[in-house]
Structure 1
Amino acid sequence: MRWLAGLFVILAGPAYAVTCDDVAFQDNSYTICTVDAETEDLRLFHSDNEGSIIGSFSNLDNTYPDKTLAFAMNAGMYHQDRAPVGLYQENGAQTSQIATSEGPGNFGLLPNGVLCLTDTSATVIESLNYVATDPTCRDANQSGPILVIDGDLHPRFLADGTSEYIRNGVGTSADGKTAIFAISNNAVNFYSFGTFFRDYLKTPNALYFDGKVSRLHAPQLNRSDFGFQLGPMIGVLE
């Protein structure tokens, strides 16, 4: 019996802080990773202590040699120099300002939003509401468009929209205790991606991160995407 118990421990494999799964919805494939924001160390990352842009999952893992990177994803748009577009705040230090005016590209397709992280919560907040309420966030990152706002899809999404890309984003529960990150495994339009968060994941608020450069690090799925050098990233350290 002792031998059998030991065998079971070996076969059970490591325990992961983040639950990741491949799922299908409306003829599209997605990978989702669910994080308990109350208990896990969910953080934004951009530069190391010397000010150098981290830029990749492997560099992020090496930046914290005493930790395990249980999950990571690119976390929003960035300029050519990989500086964040719009509001970015890490460990209470704000490095760029919030942008609330309509503009070109997906970021300027208002309404857009902010992912606000505290030590025990993760919340997607519409940008104008963020300015009006001035919430206390340890980390904050602005991106756009917002996918779902108070249970409704972004008003400018079209069911037959022809712009299709690999896309990624995050949805948060009403109580802020759970964050669900998703990346499509085939090209989808905004309507399909937003509908996935609203109808399948059932998150009342969800924020788009990016397309084309969308990347995921999910060790429990033996997945760590590579390609473009990244700007802001989000991840869980154990």
Structure 2
Amino acid sequence: MKHWLCALLICLAAPLAAAECREQTYQDNRFVVCDVDLTSEDLRLFLKDDAGEVLGYFSSVNAQLKQSGEKLSFAMNAGMYHEDRAPVGLYLENGAQEQRIITSDGPGNFGLLPNGVFCIGENRADVIEARKFARRAPECTYASQSGPMLVIDGALHPRFLIDSTSRYIRNGVGTNKDGSIATFVISRNTVTFHEFGSFFRDVLNTPNALFFDGNISRLYAPQIGSSGIGWNKLGPIVGTVIPAE
């Protein structure tokens, strides 16, 4: 209702800003970095359309937003999912819970504890370790659980190996201390977890950062010519929304 009303009134307050994306290089690895200012930008999560069908593509999200006079400014995949595109862990969209939080260890990257939750609240966003999140139950309008954590209170995940040979295109998100800025990153070349986490810690200085996925990672950022087109459907998608021109 909030987003529909805002679109109807054409958001007569100050116009919403668009995410800023840039290319960065660190230790011979190339990254795209997109900063979202939660004090001036409208950041949301998307999973299904009004009929309950998984959206799966950035173009599908844009088609849905078009109905209310809006469009994406930036987007990327935002967490792990099962074959049917259902979120693996906690998923909350516009206050409605799709999946509960998972705090037990398990197989794969998601189960490589500690994992975490990306929480979007009122004018802020935070990356919170999952078990801490379960204890605190912070207020989130949107939330997506994924894993592993990349940076935890300024330290790299303890199981990242500097000499790892596991390399993929990877994407994730980090937040600053006061939650006003969420920084989304996708690697341009294959990177290890250690390299990816080090970029968040040492270059972006995000005290907490979360891995979203690898190999299937996609970015929609028309301002730098990235369409994010792919054959396979995605699960959760995160993106900033602006009025359509």
TM band (smaller chain): over 0.9
Partners of 2:171 and 2:120 in 1: CA distance: 18
| Residues 103-129 of structure 1: CA deviation (Å, up to 9, x unaligned) | 000000000000000130110000000
Secondary structure of 1:43's counterpart equals strand
Partners of 2:165 and 2:33 in 1: CA distance: 24
- 2:46 is matched with which residue? 45
| Residues 25-72 of structure 1: CA deviation (Å, up to 9, x unaligned) | 011000010000121110110001111111001111111111121000
TM-score (norm 1): 0.93
Secondary structure of 1:223's counterpart equals coil
Once the two structures are TM-superposed, the CA of residue 225 in structure 1 deviates from its matched residue by: 1.6
Is the CA contact (8 Å cut-off) linking 1:172 and 1:205 kept in structure 2?
yes
Is the CA contact (8 Å cut-off) linking 2:17 and 2:41 kept in structure 1?
no
Is the CA contact (8 Å cut-off) linking 2:19 and 2:74 kept in structure 1?
yes
Partners of 2:157 and 2:115 in 1: CA distance: 9
Alignment-mate amino acid for residue 221 of structure 2:
A
RMSD over aligned Cα, in angstroms?
1.0
- 1:17 is matched with which residue? 18
Alignment-mate amino acid for residue 195 of structure 1:
S
- 1:230 is matched with which residue? 234
Alignment-mate amino acid for residue 118 of structure 2:
L
Partners of 1:179 and 1:115 in 2: CA distance: 10
Is the CA contact (8 Å cut-off) linking 1:41 and 1:119 kept in structure 2?
no
Identity percentage of aligned residues: 57
Once the two structures are TM-superposed, the CA of residue 16 in structure 1 deviates from its matched residue by: 6.1
| 2:70 equivalent to 1:71 | no
Secondary structure of 1:196's counterpart equals helix
TM-score (norm 2): 0.90
Alignment-mate amino acid for residue 233 of structure 1:
I
Partners of 2:45 and 2:181 in 1: CA distance: 16
- 2:196 is matched with which residue? 193
- 1:217 is matched with which residue? 220
Once superposed, which parts of structure 1, at least 4 consecutive aligned residues long, lie more than 3 Å away? none
- 1:134 is matched with which residue? 137
Q: Aligned pair count?
A: 224
Partners of 2:108 and 2:64 in 1: CA distance: 32
Partners of 2:211 and 2:39 in 1: CA distance: 22
Superposition pairs for residues 27-42 of structure 1, below 5 Å?
Answer: 27-42=28-43
Alignment-mate amino acid for residue 185 of structure 2:
A
Secondary structure of 2:174's counterpart equals strand
Secondary structure of 2:134's counterpart equals helix
Partners of 1:119 and 1:217 in 2: CA distance: 24
Partners of 1:146 and 1:173 in 2: CA distance: 15
Q: Structure 2: any 5+ residue segments left out of the alignment? A: 1-15
Please say which structure displays the higher CA radius of gyration: 1
Of 159, 164, 168, the residue aligned with 1:165 is 168
Alignment-mate amino acid for residue 73 of structure 1:
M
Alignment-mate amino acid for residue 127 of structure 2:
V
- 1:94 is matched with which residue? 97
Is the CA contact (8 Å cut-off) linking 2:103 and 2:130 kept in structure 1?
yes
Secondary structure of 2:182's counterpart equals strand
Is the CA contact (8 Å cut-off) linking 2:160 and 2:193 kept in structure 1?
yes
